[in-house]
Amino acid sequence: MNFLAFGILTSYAGLIVALFGFITASWKRWKSNLHHGLVVMSLVSFAHTWYYMFSFIKWSFDDYKSRHPAPSSATIERASDWLTNTKLFEQAWAVVSTGLYNWWWSEQLCLFTAGPWTAFLFFESKRLQIPHVWAYMFLGQVVAISVASNLFFIAIRLAMSEPSSSPTRRLGQPLCASPWVWIPIFVSLATIWRTPAVAGTSEFLPNLLVMHVLLFAPFIPPSIVPFEIPGRISSTWLYAILGSASLVIRARTLREIMSLPTDDSVIARLWETLHSHPAQSSIGWDVIWTTISFILYFTLFADGGGDRVSVGTLIVDGIGSLFVSISIVASTRLMAREAALAAA
């Protein structure tokens, strides 16, 4: 029996618990200022996405047993063999990256995470002095982006409710990103562009790992950055570039999907694909919950700094996310906010 395999799985669960604890321990005055609506969204998105994640783990184990029959082996030994010989991370991403309809869902989450969400984490943590922002990125990658997003929204509200959070501090000023921030983001977007082409090849896993690892680079403390590189980009322009890049990448995927022959409507095929495999359901519903969380936060929960928008904007953003992507809608919304700050 390979105890190391079980140790890795146990360590993964322990990492998730530790990240939750680390993030919540960094919150201040949480008992009096915690917004219950955001907490509920965090819990619901966690429960829904991880229902499918556990379903994927069961599917993977059953699939392994069907391909490696050994009736006399004990379940615990079969599970050990399965964990030793199965790359769950690569297996799940291979499912959600193969096929245009599958990638239509997964691409949205990748573009949002690598683009506007990474930039949002960076700028808001600088603006409001939110500590340990890397932990939100880490939690998003090992649990769900929707869960990490809602927790970061809570951190924003708590930071803005501090007595030291004056109107000037809450509003802030447009910030700039150094090349140490925007270069990793752009390279990650390039890996997303390449993913459909390398799915099923030996380049798939390295490409996937580059995308995930580089997203931590923007949160490296400036004190350990070896040297400064000229070429800072304002927050307004960075969101504009990210929105444009997302639009180009999404346009390619949508064009290829529309060119496929099918007897069903595209929406019907996309809905069918969403529930075609537990790994696909997990990431697909993470897209949906991330979209809901972002739009509702800026419509209902955000306060100060001109964040809150009208219900009409909620409808426009919802329709825009349905037909294009939350990465484009979020980039556009955040670009407009930064432009308003620059003009103030």
- pLDDT for residue 206: 94
Confidence band, pLDDT 50/70/90 cuts, at residue 305: very low
| SS3 annotation, 222-249 | HHHCCCCCCCCEEHHHHHHHHHHHHHHH
Is pLDDT larger for residue 105 or for residue 262?
A: 105
Res. 303: pLDDT tops 70: no
Write out pLDDT tens, residues 182-212: 999 999 999 999 999 998 899 999 999 999 9
Write out pLDDT tens, residues 221-251: 877 777 777 889 999 999 999 999 999 999 9
* Arithmetic mean of pLDDT, 278-295: 94
CA–CA gap between residue 192 and residue 177 (Å, rounded): 21
The phi, psi pair for 218, rounded to 5°, reads -60, -15
Report the predicted TM-score, pTM, of the whole model to 2 decimal places: 0.90
* Arithmetic mean of pLDDT, 302-329: 70
65 within 8 A of 78, measured Cβ to Cβ: yes
CA–CA gap between residue 213 and residue 138 (Å, rounded): 10
Write out pLDDT tens, residues 156-178: 888 877 665 444 444 556 689 99
Contact residues for 14 (Cβ-Cβ < 8 A; gap 6+):
none
* Arithmetic mean of pLDDT, 315-336: 84
Res. 96: pLDDT tops 70: yes
- pLDDT for residue 256: 92
| SS3 annotation, the chain | CCHHHHHHHHHHHHHHHHHHHHHHHCCCCHHHHCCHHHHHHHHHHHHHHHHHHHHHHHHHHHHHHHHCCCCCCCHHHHHHHHHHHCCHHHHHHHHHHCCHHHHHHHHHHHHHHHHHHHHHHHHHHHHHCCCCHHHHHHHHHHCCHHHHHHHHHHHHHHHHCCCCCCHHHHHCCCCEECHHHHHHHHHHHHHHHHHHHHCCCCCHHHHHHHHHHHCCHHHCCHHHCCCCCCCCEEHHHHHHHHHHHHHHHHHHHHHHHHCCCCCCCHHHHHHHHHCCCHHHHHHHHHHHHHHHHHHHHHHHHCCCCCCCCCHHHHHHHHHHHHHCCHHHHHHHHHHHHHHHHHHC
